[in-house]
Chains A and B, each alone.
Chain A
């Protein structure tokens, strides 16, 4: 996951023009926009509506909103990791203003790393990924932050159950330059200090976004964007864990004429994790990081009204510290670095009023590996309201995350492609239909996909992240496949809006040395996903919303036999992921009261997550229990019951 992407500005819902005129970036994605996209499998997030969807702790969260879309699942209940079409969250490329980010969750995924006050647009590419993107085999989430207001000063405060945020924006020079600064911090550790048992513990996160924009001339715009976020956990002076992302990116957009535009980008990205364990006069310290420096040039060219060509090149230097540890007097380190060179060309071709094609090719050079990645998408317009889309893409990924669990954790090991660890590569085909009513009140879509992946990696049996320093000794390689169908229906207009989605999917892996080398259900395989979201505008001050989520049971590895070693009972696992955990479902409700005064907007949000207190499985463990009739106990731990929330915000 090493290369950057260019955040393309979107036209509004009116007809595309021949010229590369400056367009107003809108945050909405209407029915007609969904229909008009040539690329299949693209989801645009409406940032303005994001806050209306009830979410745990009342936090507006782009990732939690994404997880309500067809084909997108969470890593687990309450988690901000997201999985797309059978892939893991480690197979996604997440870009913020062209800089990649990793492990994009605070507090082990309960909050995402993204402050909604800083965001402008977000697009998720889950089907055919455009040739300008590379470095991930499952999806690309492309996020652009918001420029500050070039005319007026604004600010605001939001206070939530567990975290608060502030923002301020304004002109640096009227009409020519602006800035936006946002900050957020949690305060669970303040509550802990009230209990003598936990007062010396630490549990917090914070993040800061800063962006400055300059319009040097009508043809020349520049921006610089900065993000820093960190999580801190500590138990007395016995154990501590820190992780976080820092990104810095700058861009220069030059519009040469009506048909030619150039985008120059420089970006730096850092993700690091650190763990320390100090008990009984022994110390263990673990470190890891991913550092990248990226230079990119992209050209958009419209030679005529039928073709829109994008081409570009990019060079990224990647430095991955898989692990560096100090175990008492032992110091070991596993670090790799490499240049990742890419070039691409893509043409959006309007063949006729019936047929539109987007075709491209991406070239990736990484060390000893050269890969060509064709990308193609096609749209056949059956009428103004109905179309069929199809797509194919090949993608390559050179930064690999090796995990012990579904959820991204600070102790994940990362590595880059080497002579032993080959680049992960995926081919995906998809076919779909989109239709809408004439007034755009309703739109419907159905999309099927099939994906096959080579060179996926997992830990060998009996190995974990700390077993050995050389990661190549810990992992086995194999292949995977995923397929499914996604259905979605939107109601777009009126006091009641929302959507319903259903996904039926399969995900399987085959790795020699695991499960006797047979195909087995992947850790993240879940057969059915249902999302129902409704938002109702009661009056000009009150809005209400509800969200129902259902996922069928997660794949589960359960024992098939037990035995004793030196008097201790252990379990034998005959089949990886041969069982199913209980299903997970919850109903969340919220209401928002908004009051506008001359000076400000005040908003109260009330709600409840999981109103019927369903105990959804977070983890299932198996233990020997001599008091149990079977001698074995399976225990389900649920993380969240019914959680009421309240939040207040004021914006000036």
Chain B
């Protein structure tokens, strides 16, 4: 009887739900400019590029001939110099918590601007990998504990690189958390049926974690770009003149590198009991 039921379930599964790749004749648009820019206590960096057509594969869309300046509300002016492919930076541009900064990007006749308020410093008390059981398989995740009394709205952005390459990122607010804001980033699902092979961590992979405290405007941009993949909508504009991207005056914490060792990752409940 059990075999019959299992077989029936298998039949239903076979007869339902299948995926296939289809061809779409994508429209083209005039490329839009994309700016990814930060100012922190350690300096300012801006990466300038353009959108590509959907079917383009060569990411050689960096902008090399722009003028980038950041102006503080205290009258300070910083010019970001062209460093490398699409990158403009200034070590002199250091943000002061509570001050508003405005970035201006000029590419020929094209001008775009954005502004951001520099956030306060913050502490990260812990960061670690853990796993939880999910339908008989294990899901591996990263937890970052940020000290935050929760008395006012705060927003955190986490960027994780694996062996020097971008791996995951996460944007989160501190709603409902007092004392510590726990940020969880799902890494990979340890299962034979896991389709995201690029997500799977291998032993001795090095994870570098950068946590930024950002303002509401930056949070809105990251949140909307993340859900845009599901809702088929464009992110909330952070720049003028239909420019994509963000400008964030943020405080940055770079955390100690975590080396992944699968056998050493504990279940979250066990870890909490052992603490």
State whether A563 and B244 are in contact (beta carbons under 8 Å apart), knowing that A197-B136, A330-B176, A632-B54 are contacts in the complex.
yes
Is A351's CB within 8 Å of the partner chain B?
no
Do the beta carbons of B24 and A574 come within 8 Å of each other? no
Do the beta carbons of B19 and A560 come within 8 Å of each other? no
Enumerate chain A residues within 8 angstroms of B147, measured Cβ to Cβ. none
Q: Mark A293-337, 1 if CB is under 8 A from B, else 0.
A: 000000000000000000000000000000000111110000000
State whether A330 and B175 are in contact (beta carbons under 8 Å apart), knowing that A563-B52, A566-B159 are contacts in the complex.
yes
Interface size class of A (residues with CB under 8 A): 35 or more
Do the beta carbons of A615 and B18 come within 8 Å of each other? yes
Do the beta carbons of B159 and A574 come within 8 Å of each other? no
Interface size class of B (residues with CB under 8 A): 35 or more
Is B215's CB within 8 Å of the partner chain A?
no
State whether A575 and B134 are in contact (beta carbons under 8 Å apart), knowing that A462-B220, A564-B59 are contacts in the complex.
no
Q: Identify which of residues 601-628 in chain A touch chain B, using a CB-to-CB cut-off of 8 Å.
A: 615, 620
Classify the interface of chain A: helix, strand, loop or mixed.
loop
Do the beta carbons of B51 and A562 come within 8 Å of each other? yes
Q: How far is the CA of A639 from the CA of B20 in the complex (A)?
A: 12
Do the beta carbons of A572 and B272 come within 8 Å of each other? no
Do the beta carbons of B5 and A194 come within 8 Å of each other? yes
Identify B36's interface contact among A328, A464, A565, CB under 8 A.
A565
Q: How far is the CA of A295 from the CA of B59 in the complex (A)?
A: 65
Enumerate chain B residues within 8 angstroms of A201, measured Cβ to Cβ. 135
Nearest opposing residue in chain A for B6, CB measure: A194
Nearest opposing residue in chain A for B50, CB measure: A563
Q: Which 7 A-B pairs have the closest CB atoms?
A: A567-B166, A462-B224, A330-B176, A328-B176, A630-B55, A561-B51, A557-B232
Q: How far is the CA of A575 from the CA of B26 in the complex (A)?
A: 11
Identify B2's interface contact among A194, A236, A461, A561, CB under 8 A.
A194
Q: Mark B260-273, 1 if CB is under 8 A from A, else 0.
A: 00000000110010
Known: A566-B36, A570-B229, A629-B57. 10 other contacts (CB 8 A): A280-B132, A282-B182, A461-B233, A462-B220, A462-B228, A467-B223, A559-B54, A632-B55, A634-B23, A643-B15
How many residue pairs between the two chains, A and B, have CB atoms under 8 Å in the bound complex? Answer: 191
State whether A464 and B231 are in contact (beta carbons under 8 Å apart), knowing that A191-B8, A560-B27 are contacts in the complex.
yes
Q: Mark B186-203, 1 if CB is under 8 A from A, else 0.
A: 000000000000000000
Identify B184's interface contact among A280, A464, A575, CB under 8 A.
A280
Q: How far is the CA of A467 from the CA of B165 in the complex (A)?
A: 30
Do the beta carbons of B16 and A640 come within 8 Å of each other? yes
Nearest opposing residue in chain A for B30, CB measure: A561
Q: Identify which of residues 220-246 in chain A touch chain B, using a CB-to-CB cut-off of 8 Å.
A: 235-236, 238
Is A15's CB within 8 Å of the partner chain B?
no
State whether A191 and B9 are in contact (beta carbons under 8 Å apart), knowing that A565-B225, A637-B17 are contacts in the complex.
yes
Do the beta carbons of B54 and A563 come within 8 Å of each other? no
Most chain A CB atoms below 10 A, which of B19, B51, B177, B232: B232
Most chain B CB atoms below 10 A, which of A279, A326, A563, A564: A563
12 contacts between A and B (CB under 8 A): A236-B135, A238-B134, A279-B184, A461-B234, A462-B234, A561-B52, A574-B27, A574-B29, A615-B20, A620-B22, A638-B20, A639-B17
Is B63's CB within 8 Å of the partner chain A?
no
Enumerate chain B residues within 8 angstroms of A575, measured Cβ to Cβ. 27
Identify B34's interface contact among A197, A560, A564, CB under 8 A.
A564
Enumerate chain B residues within 8 angstroms of A582, measured Cβ to Cβ. 22
